[in-house]
A and B are shown apart, each in its own frame.
Chain A
Amino acid sequence: MQSIKQYRNLSRPLLVAAGLLSVAGLVDSLFLTVTHYTNALVPCSLTHGCETVLRSSYSEFFGIPIAVFGIIFYLGVLATSIFFVQNKEYHVWFSLWGVIGFMSTLYLLFIQAIILHAFCQYCLLSAATSTLIFTTTSVLYFIHNNKGEYNDQKKS
Chain B
Amino acid sequence: MKKSSLKKYLPTILIVLVILIVVGFVVRALVSPDSQPAQTQTKGKVDITALKNGGSVGDPNSKVVITEFGDYQCPSCGLWHPYIKDTIIPQYSNKVLFVFKNYPLKMHKNAQAAAQAVESASLQGKFWEMHNMVYDHQADWSNSNDPNSVFEKYASQIGLNVDTWKKDRESDKVRNLIKNDVAIGDQLGLPGTPSFLINGVLQQPKSFEDFKNAIDQAISQSQ
Contacts and interface: CB of A to CB of B under 8 A. Distances in A.
B109 interface: yes
Contacts of A41: 76, 79-80, 205-208
A42 to B, nearest CB: 6
A44 B12 contact: no
Given A35-B31, A117-B107, A43 B12 contact: no
A2 B75 CA distance: 57
Interface in A1-50: 23, 26-27, 30-31, 34-35, 38-46, 49
A8 B200 CA distance: 65
A23 B11 CA distance: 17
A46 B77 contact: no
A55 to B, nearest CB: 3
Contacts, number: 90
Contacts of B8: 87
A78 interface: yes
A82 interface: yes
Interface of A is mostly: helix
Interface in A70-86: 75, 78-79, 82-83, 86
B27 interface: yes
Q: Report which residue of A26, A46, A75 has the largest number of chain B beta carbons within 10 angstroms of its beta carbon.
A: A46
Query: What interface size band does chain A fall in?
Result: 20 to 34
B108 to A, nearest CB: 7
A55 B191 contact: no
Contacts of B168: none
Contacts of B78: 55
A52 interface: yes
Interface of A: 23, 26-27, 30-31, 34-35, 38-46, 49, 51-52, 55-57, 75, 78-79, 82-83, 86-87, 115-118
Interface of B: 8-9, 11-13, 15-16, 19-20, 23-24, 26-27, 30-31, 71, 74-80, 105, 107-109, 139, 143, 190-195, 205-208
